[in-house]
Amino acid sequence: MRQIEYILGLERIDNDIYRGPAVESALTRTFGGQVAAQALVAATETVDGDKTVHSLHGYFVAPGKSAEPTVFLVDRLRDGRSFSSRQVRAVQDGETIFSMQASFHRRDDVGPEHSDRMRDVPMPETLTDDPSTLPRSSRNLLEEWGDWDIHVVPSEAYEHNKYSPSQQVVWFRSRRPLPDDETFHICTLAYMSDMTLLHSSLVPHPGHPVQMASLDHAMWFLRPFRADEWLLYDQVSPSASAGRALTHGRIFDRAGNLVAIVTQEGLTRTLREGGESVPMKRVQEK
């Protein structure tokens, strides 16, 4: 897998039109976090530096092709004194594969503050990197994500909310130092946010084979952070029904500051005989 600097390195091809590179992958379809992060990069390129993104809402409307570049078309919906809004379409072969709206807020606004607390969990250095306990689809994806430290906290190592049927807690970060640029870290977290989240919906259903795909994805960026420092991804799945699962994640920095929130619905359809949970390329296709 290419480094994140390459993945987020979009080429400007005209006013408000950008092209994201094809990224070598064992996946047949484009990783959802990749297209969301690239769409966010395209949007940020059209916004003045006095504002930073505070939220995005995206829909995965068609599977992308991982071996092909993606074109991003940005619409400037509004530029106000405090907020700017952008709409982005990701296109391959003339077809929209992802649609996103993003909102940007000026950096110097102030107001009252409060925050959820991070739950008490073991620190990442105390955890072993053992993917053998994860579903096969998760292990396949971990091979794609070699640039990232991903440590799933053992279920018995933290207190569970008895009202939440499905819970999963993950420490993650970039293994490599990243550029000292706030926007780069935000776009990187958009990429990372699609890692492991949908799999949290399978915690109560071990061994149940499902077809998995992201359907929609929303994020709120709350406080500054670095994606190359440990972040705790506290995940729950409030519901799974009719072949879809709703998942929700709160992301904290190591000091316990709530830095981002993610909500995602994904396909979790019972897998047909002979099907693949996450379509992967065959060895002979390389």
**What amino acid is encoded at 190 in this protein?**
A
> 209-219 burial, b if ≥16 CB within 10 A, otherwise e?
bbbbbbbbbbb
Q: Which residues of 78-104 are buried (b: 16+ CB within 10 A; e: fewer)?
A: eeeeeebbbebbbbbeeeebbbbbbbb
Which residue in the list 84, 166, 174, 194 is annotated as catalytic? 194
- 264 is an active site residue: yes
Active site residue 214: yes
User: Residues 83-86: contacts with CB within 8 Å, 24+ apart?
Assistant: 83/51, 84/47, 84/48, 84/51, 86/43, 86/46, 86/47
- Given 214, 235, 237, 277, the catalytic residue: 214
Place of tokens 């994201």: 20
Catalytic residue among 38, 66, 166, 264: 264
Q: Does the annotation count 103 as an active-site position?
A: no
What tokens appear for 277 in the block?
A: 């949970």
- Give catalytic residue positions: 194, 214, 264
